[in-house]
Homo-oligomer: A and B are copies of this chain.
């Protein structure tokens, strides 16, 4: 078995070696660009890790890993257009650099590139791989749609929010795990358990992101602390407070009367009053427990699960 760091290196090498057509260069340059911006390659690493639970040849899962990473980056390109985002991983976004139309089209062709990677898997698992991937891709699109719609709505429930982050973020982690398992040779039960592991981990991860936005250590957290508060983002913390607050209290959540520091301060005070951090942590821990339960139920040798538990630890202890 490889360590996650080793798998990341295998992936970086494989990503660099992907050959895209040279022409038209403005269609393919944005793909090379976004794929080279890096990140932790968490999703394709998960594919390879899951495969290695069932096979010694993780290279069998490399095409699926590249499909997942390409698909993920495709969603970033299109999401950044929709969100009108100027930066991605600290660099200028594709649509800012090449224009919106070009970004739409490069994104589209990335979807085709994903499918090309997928089509290379062994014929014995091809159908199952396609079904899992398509279900995953569809879920991610649905999640993005709900996320956009929630921005316009004032009545989003906690249940709806969890469903949105499940679709937008968590099904891709679940899908990555399941695809790795399938290509590695897992049976249906184990593949489904790994899906559950990934999905619940994904929900927990997003809830932790909501918490860290407010309570994170500014030196460790990659983004601006309080960013969600400034943009009135309907996070778990925001929605839970809306549900618990009395009278006019909740007004500060969406107020534009304060300056930024004052608003972060006001809203954090309100969160503290209703112990929102603790409630969000409890919610997150529920999903974490479910994820670990699926891992326990998995019919593979316990020592093989160690890396997965460490991965959970690593992700969840970003700053608590």
Contact = CB atoms under 8 A, between A and B. Distances in A.
A81 interface: yes
Contact of A105 (B23, B27, B127, B141): B141
A82 interface: yes
Contact of A119 (B101, B111, B123, B131): B131
A267 to B, nearest CB: 27
Determine the main DSSP class of A at the interface with B: helix
Interface in A135-150: 137-138, 141-142, 144-146, 148-149
A112 interface: yes
Contact of A102 (B101, B111, B112, B145): B145
Contact of A142 (B21, B115, B134, B149): B21
Contact of A115 (B27, B102, B134, B145): B134
B104 A78 contact: yes
Contacts of A138: 21, 109, 112-113, 116
Interface in A89-123: 101-102, 104-105, 107-109, 111-113, 115-116, 118-119, 123
A312 interface: no
The contact size tier of chain A is: 35 or more
Contacts of A108: 78, 107-108, 111, 141
Interface in A144-166: 144-146, 148-149
21 contacts: A21-B142, A24-B149, A27-B141, A78-B105, A102-B148, A104-B104, A105-B144, A108-B108, A108-B111, A109-B138, A109-B141, A112-B137, A112-B138, A115-B115, A115-B133, A115-B137, A116-B138, A119-B127, A119-B134, A123-B123, A126-B126
